[in-house]
Amino acid sequence: MSETNETPVLVRYEAEDGVATLTLDSPANRNALSSTLVAQLHDGLRRAAADPGVRVVVLGHTGNTFCAGADLSEATSGPVDPEGPVAGRARALAGLLRAIVELPKPVVAAVDGHVRAGGMGLVAACDLAVAGEAATFALTEARLGVAPSIISLTVLPRLGSAAASRLFLTGEKFDAGDAAELGLITAAASDVPAAVAELVGLLRQGSPQGLAESKKLLTAPVLAAFDARADALASASARLFASDEAREGMTAFLQRRPPSWAE
């Protein structure tokens, strides 16, 4: 992880041979969705969208975690007013997920590490996703006193109702094979780079217009849900994160102890 003008670079951008690779590079906090990481990832997506030479975007990561979800240290350090910074972070995440969904170029997630909570929203927002043997997944929000509010906009369309009920409520962990069977990801693979390269090769056979218009057909229901519900879900998320129960859940997690309701 490098620094420029004292601002840490948490998302690296590289473009080569028509592929823009955005790499989450904040392993110290397990690529958590800090305000800085969210803003830099959003900037990278804008950069890829504006570059006519970019045909496909690949979203990858460093370290053994793709994304741990919300940055709990950030979430517990600021004011608890749900109309303040908490709401701003919720709306920024909603904007980021929408940017992935409506990007007029295919986005492929390359996952070979753990995916938790908000990280599940990132994976589900991508058009295609490949996960390796080191990948594990879980929606852990309920265990922290919150809910997968905003990410439900991208996660729920990938899951059947029975699977969604179990995963949202239990917070249990599952592997890449399970994720593929549930429809959360495109494929489980022993060699993630090779599998991603194969998908990228297939995508590059499509024309830019053909890919963009085909993606519109696929994402129209998700974008309609964003239009109808994103603001309300962001407010609900901010209210939950500012609650005493969530503060206890997040603090307990950071202190590696059971929360009060689990003792």
Catalytic residues, by residue number, are: 141
Beta strand spans in 77-168 (E) = 107-111, 114-116, 128-131, 136-138
Tokens of 40: 């830099």
Beta strands 11-16 and 19-24, pairing class: antiparallel
Residue of 134, 7, 118 whose CA lies nearest to 62: 134
Query: Do the Cβ atoms of 117 and 69 come closer than 8 Å?
Result: yes
Closest C-alpha to 37, from 64, 2, 8: 8
Whether the CB-CB separation of 93 and 184 falls below 8 Å is answered with no
Joined together, the tokens standing for residue 68 give 């741990």
Distance of CA 10 to the CA centre of its chain: 15
The encoded tokens of residue 96 equal 């980021």
Spatial neighbors of 48 by CB under 8 A, at least 6 apart, are 13, 15, 20, 22, 54, 57, 103, 105
Q: Is 112 helix (H, G, I), strand (E, B) or coil?
A: coil
